[in-house]
């Protein structure tokens, strides 16, 4: 059923209506998707318009079509520029010119604020040694270095693209790009940001499950730790962990019994295991070779069996002796 505005669309494009009628049609377009679609078709397919002579009204239509194409091209270029600016916005601290520094910092700081709403509790306290550091990373996913880097790069890029698209929309011809539709644009941008946040949340939650259950370990680096000092022993990748003499490690770690949470011991004698998980997770854990207590940096505590501790101590002693012999 027709809404009654169909016949007014072409006169609206040609600006043949009175001021009141123009306002009425413009207001109707904001609530009628069918008429808006027909109007867009007229703008996108100028050959479908019944043009007999190139008169003033036809020139108005052509100017609007040109304005639409020019506006869409401007929005696309602006959004690409904003995306690239956001990609490198983490480098704003290296810029010494205040104007460009402020422009570069805007998408990064907005991304930092947006992610902080959902993930600020994930940030590791100052002084906790994660054994790795990614320059420019925001630190919202401390136990997943790759995810932390990706979120710190692409979140500002998305926000930079949206800001640039908004600017491109606002500076385009308002006869075609109605200002009241900015709200719709902002709503769409919010949906995209929320969807991106959901992806980050799901990926990090999956990683934390593996860390908490000590499953999916694909690499272990061993350090010996004494008061105020530590030394590297060996790094075992996924291939090495499949060898018979090391295969028991991942199996026994996954069988470790969870205990009450405990504070991560620092500068206490023992071993530190840097555990790397499938999917990109990473977690340091302190192992007391005397009693088999394993405590992760998160504060999760596990108890290894006595047989596992004895076997592990034997393996570590062999490695130490091999290192001593090489020296």
Residues ≥6 apart with Cβ < 8 Å to 86: 107, 108, 111, 155, 156, 157, 158, 159, 160, 161
| pLDDT bracket for residue 327 (50, 70, 90) | low
Predicted local confidence at residue 46, as pLDDT: 53
Is the whole-model pTM more than 0.85? no
Q: What is the mean pLDDT of residues 113-141?
A: 77
3-state secondary structure (DSSP) of residue 164: helix
3-state secondary structure (DSSP) of residue 272: strand
Question: Number of helices (H) and strands (E), helices first, in the chain?
Answer: 10, 7
Q: What is the mean pLDDT of residues 10-23?
A: 76
Predicted local confidence at residue 51, as pLDDT: 47
Identify the CA nearest to 159 among candidates 82, 78, 76. Answer: 82
Lowest model confidence (mean pLDDT) among 147-151, 176-180, 212-216, 293-297: 176-180
Residue 255 in this model has a pLDDT that exceeds 80: yes
Structural contact between residues 144 and 159, judged by C-beta atoms closer than 8 angstroms: no
Identify the CA nearest to 60 among candidates 42, 75, 74, 73. Answer: 42
Predicted local confidence at residue 311, as pLDDT: 87
Predicted local confidence at residue 276, as pLDDT: 93
Predicted local confidence at residue 71, as pLDDT: 81
pLDDT digits (tens, 9 = 90+) for 95-104: 788 888 888 8
CA–CA separation, 171 and 173 (whole Å): 7
Identify the CA nearest to 247 among candidates 300, 200, 311. Answer: 311
Q: Any idea what DSSP says for residue 291?
A: T
- Max alpha carbon distance in the chain (Å)? 96
Residue 177 in this model has a pLDDT that exceeds 70: no
- Residue 9, CA distances (Å) to 17, 36, 60, 256 in order: 10, 9, 13, 72
**Better pLDDT: 111 or 3:** 111
- CA-based angle 210:212:213, to the nearest 5? 65
| pLDDT bracket for residue 58 (50, 70, 90) | low
pLDDT digits (tens, 9 = 90+) for 277-288: 998 899 999 999
Residue 319 in this model has a pLDDT that exceeds 60: yes
pLDDT digits (tens, 9 = 90+) for 77-95: 999 999 999 999 988 888 7
Q: What is the mean pLDDT of residues 173-190?
A: 77
Residue 134 in this model has a pLDDT that exceeds 80: no
Residue 321 neighbours by CB distance under 10 Å: 10
Predicted local confidence at residue 54, as pLDDT: 45
**Percentage of residues of the chain with pLDDT beyond 70:** 85
| pLDDT bracket for residue 109 (50, 70, 90) | very high
**Percentage of residues of the chain with pLDDT beyond 90:** 32
- Residue 46, CA distances (Å) to 49, 69, 186, 236, 269 in order: 6, 12, 29, 66, 79
Lowest model confidence (mean pLDDT) among 12-16, 123-127, 295-299: 123-127
Lowest model confidence (mean pLDDT) among 189-203, 228-242, 310-324: 310-324
CA–CA separation, 254 and 304 (whole Å): 10
């Amino acid at each position: 059923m027709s809404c009654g505005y169909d016949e007014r669309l072409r006169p609206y494009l040609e600006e043949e209506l009175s001021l009141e009628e123009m306002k009425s049609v413009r207001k109707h377009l904001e609530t009628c998707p069918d008429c808006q679609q027909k109007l867009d078709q007229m703008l996108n397919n100028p050959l479908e318009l019944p043009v007999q002579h190139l008169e003033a009204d036809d020139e108005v239509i052509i100017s609007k079509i040109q304005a639409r194409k020019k506006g869409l091209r401007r929005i696309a270029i602006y959004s690409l520029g904003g995306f690239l600016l956001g990609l490198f916005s983490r480098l704003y601290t290296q810029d010494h010119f205040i104007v460009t520094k402020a422009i570069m910092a805007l998408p990064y700081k907005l991304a930092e604020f947006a992610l902080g709403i959902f993930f600020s509790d994930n940030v590791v306290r100052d002084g906790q040694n994660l054994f790795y550091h990614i320059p420019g990373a925001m630190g919202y996913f401390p136990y997943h270095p790759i995810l932390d880097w990706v979120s710190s790069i692409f979140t500002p890029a998305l926000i930079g693209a949206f800001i640039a698209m908004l600017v491109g929309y606002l500076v385009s011809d308002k006869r075609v790009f109605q200002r009241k539709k900015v709200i719709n644009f902002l709503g769409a941008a919010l949906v995209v940001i929320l969807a991106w946040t959901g992806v980050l949340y799901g990926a990090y939650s999956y990683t934390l499950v593996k860390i908490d259950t000590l499953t999916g370990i694909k690499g272990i680096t061993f350090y010996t730790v004494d008061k105020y000092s530590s030394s590297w022993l060996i790094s075992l990748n996924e291939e090495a962990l499949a060898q018979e003499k090391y295969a028991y490690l991942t199996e026994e770690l996954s069988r470790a019994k969870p205990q009450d949470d405990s504070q991560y011991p620092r500068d206490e004698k023992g071993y530190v295991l840097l555990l790397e998980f499938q999917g990109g997770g990473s977690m340091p854990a302190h192992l007391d070779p005397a009693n088999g207590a394993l405590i992760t940096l998160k504060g999760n505590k596990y108890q290894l069996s006595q047989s596992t501790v004895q076997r592990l101590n034997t393996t570590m002693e062999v490695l130490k002796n091999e290192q001593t012999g090489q020296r």
